Amino acid sequence: MISRKALGSLVCLSAVTTLIWVAVGNWKVHYLPYYLPCPEIFSKELQYLEEKPVQLFPQLFYQQPRVLAPKRQDVLTVTPWLAPIIWEGTFSPEILDSVYMPLNLTIGVTAFAIGKYTRFVGRFLESAEMHFMKGYRVNYYIFTDNPEMIPDVQLQPGRRFDVVHIKKYSSWQEISMRRMEAINLHIAERSHREVDYLFCLDIDMVFHNAWGAETLSDIVAAMHPGYFNVPRSQFPYERRSSSAAYIPEGEGDFYYGGAVFGGLVKKVYEFTKTCHLTILADKANGIMAAWQEESHLNRHFLSHKPSKVLSPEYIWDDRKPKPPEIFLIRFSTVDKSYQEVRN
């Protein structure tokens, strides 16, 4: 006695019900608590029109580090006090840049171009523009007694250079040793406000390969290229006990080069102050250390271990043949006549 309309509605109803039942049973139906955003948002990349794409967790793709297959088996990659030793192959520039670039750091570089050493400034700056801390803000501080001799070098955006006018001392050894004082004063007056990390480099050198964020740390020293594979008894430490840079036989980790050191500007400030005071102490006692401030630097780094040590890739001497453990040379001396430039 059911009318055709009612029958039709019933059939429709059961058909729809069956359809829904089939859908719920077979097809994916997501039941989400209404008060929550969709879970996919957590891993979804949102592309705003005007802004850069925002990624919740930036994705970097690189090879998995193999725990039982070190990339460098031929060299020591960490010191006994657990400071990494930086060799090609031990680090990934992409990962390091992904950590350091967001910090918006400014890196400072000091270099001393006194007297005839102004001739090296051009090549130093040009090679630094190609290889040093690419992508970071860099301030070059060129210390000189003769500001007019400093060439005008075109720099990449975000990088600038300042000429600092200082006094020229009488002998090249004195000039070399007074660098500590000059850097220290300059930090106090200017750089502590302008840079986060500071590197103190020799000017008579040139960059050949990338020098990047792998070198950033609290306090950084570099292994002198002539002494990294030599017993400590042959390190040219200051061996006279009357000097403040004295290191006795049987002590010493590495022989660090005076041409490269750096770190957080605060740490470089403390370090240059200590070195300058020990240099003055020696001067008062009428003694000059065997390798000037390099001896004092070594004395300091023996008691206050660096937090990163750069391999000789970062402080090479082009007169030396390249040994197998040095895969690439990043920073190295310019060929010159020492006698000619120092007088």
Its sign, for the CA torsion 229, 325, 294, 274, is negative
**Which residue in the set 36, 51, 52, 53 belongs to the binding site for its own copies (CB under 8 A)?**
36
Bridge partners of residue 205, in order along the sequence: 333
Q: Verify whether residue 148 is a known catalytic residue.
A: no
Q: Report the C-alpha dihedral over residues 292, 263, 110, 75, rounded to 10 degrees.
A: 70
Using rule CB under 8 A, residue 338 touches its own copies: no
Among 179, 224, 276, 308, binds its own copies (CB under 8 A): 308
Contact call for residue 29 and its own copies (CB under 8 A): no
Is 204 annotated to bind a ligand? Reply is yes
Binding letters toward its own copies, positions 230-249, x by CB under 8 A: -xx--------xx-x-x---
Residue 202 is labelled as binding a ligand: yes
**Which one, 39 or 122, has the nearer CB to its own copies?**
39
Query: Is the backbone of residue 160 left (phi > 0), alpha (psi -120 to 50) or beta?
Result: beta
DSSP letters of 182-239? HHHHHIIIIIHHH-SEEEEE-SSEEE-S-B-GGG-SSEEEEE-TTSTTS-GGGS--B-
* Residue 86 binds its own copies, judged by CB under 8 A: yes
Binding of its own copies by 17 (CB under 8 A): no
Say which amino acid occupies 38.
Answer: C
- Bridge-based pairing state of the strands 205-207 and 219-223: unpaired
76 touches its own copies (CB under 8 A): yes
One of 25, 33, 102, 321 touching its own copies (CB under 8 A): 33
25: helix, strand or coil:
helix
Catalytic residue among 294, 313, 325, 340: 294
Spatial distance between the Cα atoms of 89 and 108, rounded to a whole number of angstroms? 26
DSSP H stretches of helix in 86-208: 93-100, 121-131, 172-186, 192-194
Nearer to its own copies, 143 or 254 (CB): 254
Choose between 14 and 285: whose C-beta lies nearer to its own copies: 285
CA atoms within 13 A on the CB side of 94: 6
**# of chain residues touching its own copies (CB under 8 A):** 63
Distance CA 159, CA 137 (A): 5
Residue 70 lies near its own copies (rule: CB under 8 A)? yes
Of the ranges 12-20, 125-133, 195-203, 222-230, which one interacts with its own copies (CB under 8 A)? 222-230
Catalytic residues: 294
Positions touching its own copies (CB under 8 A) are 33, 36, 39-40, 42-43, 57-62, 64-71, 73-86, 90-92, 95-96, 99, 214, 223, 228-229, 231-232, 241-242, 244, 246, 250-254, 281, 284-285, 302-303, 305, 308, 325
* Binding residue ranges: 112-114, 117, 202-204, 224, 294, 317
